[in-house]
Amino acid sequence: MEILGIDIGGTGIKGTPVNTETGELIAERYRLLTPNPSHPKKVAPVVAEVARHFDWQGAIGCGFPAVVKHGVVYTAANVSNKWIGTDAEELLGEATKCPVTMVNDADAAALAEMRFGAGRDQNGIVLLITLGTGIGTAIFISGHLLPNTELGHIEIEGKDAEVWAAEIVRKQQKLSWKQWGQQVDKYLRAMERLIWPDLIIIGGGASKKHEKFFPYFTVQTEVVPAEMLNEAGIVGAALAAEP
């Protein structure tokens, strides 16, 4: 089945049709800048432009950096607060003239990893963590997604976990890979005490350099890098729109 997957981020909106049976991208990704300010009524036409680029007339799946329940946005991370309370599926459906399924972006990445990446054939509890501007999390229990977990915001030593472990912290504070790896490990150990996963998958841009900071982890749980990388959000968004 072919579904248009779109990843809506704080800086860019990118998408391409996806073969949901194989996870392959059918065409080259098309990317446009996220409007600033990223109000819903400004973002919707850009999403529609991505659909028009592919002359798309079928189902669309969109990953979005927010808690999304039944198509309605409840939070807003790195996008305008005006999204809160918006029926995003209705808004983007009207803009694209296509049926739209909206899903949290970390959940989308996890759907792709569990079907085609590092989590395939895994049972038990799988925790996916994306390290970037913030921390995204997704939990699978026996192959079933627990949607909209926001475990990047747990408190560690009186501070939001993102202050310790987000990749942007490494860059802004000019931390060595060892220093940052130890701080990520502190977050992972907190997560291990909370949910005792069977597998932890680390995604986000830094996962491509996992050999630089994974050696500093002390958690008992097996930790592996994500495999889908930049394709995860788009592929997972498309999977979320499967009937």
Together in a domain, 192 and 216: yes
- Looking at residue 78, what is its pLDDT? 77
Whether the pTM exceeds 0.75: the reply is yes
Placement of tokens 């990953």 in the chain: 63
* Residue 65: inside a domain: yes
Tell me which residues of the chain have a pLDDT lower than 70: none
Same domain, 156 and 169: yes
222 lies in a domain? yes
What total number of domains does the chain contain?
2
Q: Is residue 149 part of a domain?
A: yes
Pair (189, 235) in one structural domain = no
pLDDT of residue 21: 97
Residue 129 has a pLDDT of 96
Closest CA to 179 of 223, 213, 145, 141: 213
Structural domain including 186 reads: 118-227
Instruction: Give me the pLDDT at residue 175, please.
Output: 97
- pLDDT attached to residue 84: 98
Over 206-221, what HEC string results? HHHHHHHCHHHCCCCC
Strand partners, 18: 3, 25
Are 222 and 149 within one domain? yes
Question: Is 6 a member of any domain?
Answer: yes
